[in-house]
Structure 1
Amino acid sequence: MQEIRHTPRAATSIRALDTHVGIDPHRHDDHQIAYAGSGVLSVTTDAGTWVAPTTRALWIPAGTVHEHRAYGRTDLHSVGLPTRLNPLSLDTPAVIAVGPLLRELILAYTRDPEDEGPERRRLLAVLLDQLRAAPLQPLHLPAPADPRLAAVCALLRADPADSRGLAALGAAAGAGASERTLSRLFRSELGMTFPQWRTQLRLHQALRLLAVGTPVTAVAHRCGWSSASAFIDVFRRAFGHTPGSHPGRLR
């Protein structure tokens, strides 16, 4: 079993991560905001995976065992917050939208973490105000606990482009459950339908591929969309811009 590192204080810092480099499972006694100034960052817990390009940030509550992974050359900006400061009033991980002002506040606050002067305290106050106003984003890919559901999800994780229906996937995975049972498990355990979960998985994979410079047409094919235009449409509705103009994309 992999050892879980306990780092009581969640440091405010900047850390450069090469693509596919991760930070092993660990936990803090503080809350943490994790933001990728470049590239794409994912955070995984027992409850699933959250992914964030440069237009999003990750909220990681105190005590949450989590691991990071970078896709594309990633500058990880971490903001540690004591438990008395919970601007989102959340005790579960989440993805939040990052507009131009919030981005600049995070970059500025992490630039000189040893400064404890009045200007920095004012900067933190504005940062917390912006976090309170930041909308949450549905970029969570929940992880199944039921072994029948886990077997199906594992097939799709291995190949997000797999276009088989739920009945065929269940049979191939040896799940021993009917399509109706698996469909019910998606809703009750993961809080979304099978098509919604598969689309979320494909979007997660698309973000990772775009971050390492994969062409849009290749991303569409490898993630299971019927055409590049279909992929672009889904991506634009999810992120507000086209994959070709994705901020975390390598140029």
Structure 2
Amino acid sequence: MRHEAPSTPGPPGSPILSIQRGHTRDIPTGLPTHSHPEPMLMSSAGATVLGSVGARDWLIPPGYGLWIPGGYEHGGAVLHHGELSILHLDTEHCPITWTEPTGVAVGPLLRELITHLLRIAPHDPSRRAGETLLFDLLTPLTTHDIQVAVPADPRVSVIAERLLAHPDDQRELTDWADEVHASVRTLSRLFPAETGLTFAAWRTQVRIHAAIQLLGRGTSVTATARAVGYRHPSAFITAFRRVTGHTPGTYNSADAVRP
């Protein structure tokens, strides 16, 4: 990422170690997995990033951010280039103590505060108040991650692999039963046992997971719905909201909040 110069350290007791901001076009498509002892806040004004933190995937579209506690391995991929900010924080002085990765909204005021803190001198009289307000504005959101459990039993793992590769596959368990040489009753029992979900619910999770990545690349809601197996966009929107708590437009870089 092409950064503006990192901010100079704040005065003693500042919760912010550094602020970096820049465009993602100069970083690799894949961000290597790494960890560091201090927590960080990644926020997007124009980029769309698919982050991998621990065993979860998070989509970070414009107008959103992700809190990553210290020690968590994280990496990811840039789905849509744009501006990104990263704050590294002092564990001892940071008022945020979340122990799990946490999504946050990054509205205009929070973006302007980050810009202000990036540009002012360490002992600027407005720094303390700016830092206090920044952390006051960080409010946890409903999680933006979709976890898809992959079954191990070979009779259902074959089905899972096909659907992960082709989420628009419309076949039901009666069709799959013939292909994998197992009864519908057996498959109906194995899916909850292996994934915790019925076949229909698991397939919906797969479709929404695939949809989030397409939306993050700028694919329209209608085209995304078709690509993941929904004939009618209204049915897709309903399923998407049920799984994520948000509308597809929240994840679409073309519809997301921009500076």
Q: Contact 1:105 / 1:123 at 8 angstroms: preserved in 2?
A: yes
Q: Contact 1:17 / 1:70 at 8 angstroms: preserved in 2?
A: yes
Q: Distance in 2 between matches of 1:166 and 1:11?
A: 53
Q: Which blocks of at least 5 consecutive residues in structure 1 are unaligned?
A: 1-8
Could you say what secondary structure the match of 1:95 adopts?
A: strand
- Indicate the residue corresponding to 1:202 in structure 2: 207
1:124 Cα offset (Å): 1.6
1:64 Cα offset (Å): 0.7
Deviations 1:76-108 (A, max 9, x none): 211111223565532222222334433433454
Q: Contact 2:54 / 2:72 at 8 angstroms: preserved in 1?
A: no
Give yes or no for the alignment of 1:212 onto 2:217.
Answer: yes
1:32 Cα offset (Å): 0.9
- Structure 2: which amino acid aligns with 1:221? R
- Indicate the residue corresponding to 1:246 in structure 2: 255
Deviations 1:45-73 (A, max 9, x none): 34121112123211111011110211111
Identify if the C-alpha distance between structure 1 residues 161 and 10 changes in structure 2 by more than 3 Å, giving closer, same or farther: farther
Q: Distance in 2 between matches of 1:63 and 1:125?
A: 24
- Indicate the residue corresponding to 1:182 in structure 2: 191
Could you say what secondary structure the match of 1:63 adopts?
A: coil
Give yes or no for the alignment of 1:159 onto 2:169.
Answer: no
1:206 Cα offset (Å): 3.0
- Indicate the residue corresponding to 2:122 in structure 1: 116
Q: Contact 2:40 / 2:70 at 8 angstroms: preserved in 1?
A: yes
- Indicate the residue corresponding to 2:11 in structure 1: none
Could you say what secondary structure the match of 2:218 adopts?
A: coil
Q: Contact 2:150 / 2:195 at 8 angstroms: preserved in 1?
A: no
- Structure 1: which amino acid aligns with 2:168? A
Q: Contact 2:50 / 2:213 at 8 angstroms: preserved in 1?
A: no
- Structure 1: which amino acid aligns with 2:128? R
Higher Rg: 2
TM-score, normalised by the number of residues in structure 1:
0.72
Give yes or no for the alignment of 1:221 onto 2:226.
Answer: yes
Identify if the C-alpha distance between structure 1 residues 248 and 130 changes in structure 2 by more than 3 Å, giving closer, same or farther: closer
Give the stretch that moved more between structures: 92-101 or 145-154.
145-154
- Indicate the residue corresponding to 1:61 in structure 2: 69
Give yes or no for the alignment of 1:230 onto 2:230.
Answer: no
Q: Which blocks of at least 5 consecutive residues in structure 2 are unaligned?
A: 1-15
Could you say what secondary structure the match of 1:33 adopts?
A: strand
Give yes or no for the alignment of 1:92 onto 2:100.
Answer: yes
Give yes or no for the alignment of 1:22 onto 2:50.
Answer: no
TM-score, normalised by the number of residues in structure 2:
0.70
Give the stretch that moved more between structures: 231-240 or 93-102.
231-240
Give the stretch that moved more between structures: 239-248 or 215-224.
239-248
Deviations 1:131-169 (A, max 9, x none): 1xx132232223547644876654443223234456867
Q: Distance in 1 between matches of 2:74 and 2:116?
A: 25
Identify if the C-alpha distance between structure 1 residues 20 and 81 changes in structure 2 by more than 3 Å, giving closer, same or farther: same
Identify if the C-alpha distance between structure 1 residues 142 and 234 changes in structure 2 by more than 3 Å, giving closer, same or farther: closer
Q: Contact 2:46 / 2:81 at 8 angstroms: preserved in 1?
A: yes
Q: Contact 2:102 / 2:140 at 8 angstroms: preserved in 1?
A: no
Q: Distance in 1 between matches of 2:192 and 2:111?
A: 39
Q: Contact 1:52 / 1:58 at 8 angstroms: preserved in 2?
A: yes
- Structure 2: which amino acid aligns with 1:36? S
Q: Distance in 2 between matches of 1:228 and 1:240?
A: 12
Query: Aligned residues: percent identity?
Result: 30
Identify if the C-alpha distance between structure 1 residues 139 and 121 changes in structure 2 by more than 3 Å, giving closer, same or farther: same
Identify if the C-alpha distance between structure 1 residues 204 and 34 changes in structure 2 by more than 3 Å, giving closer, same or farther: farther
**RMSD across aligned positions (CA):** 3.8
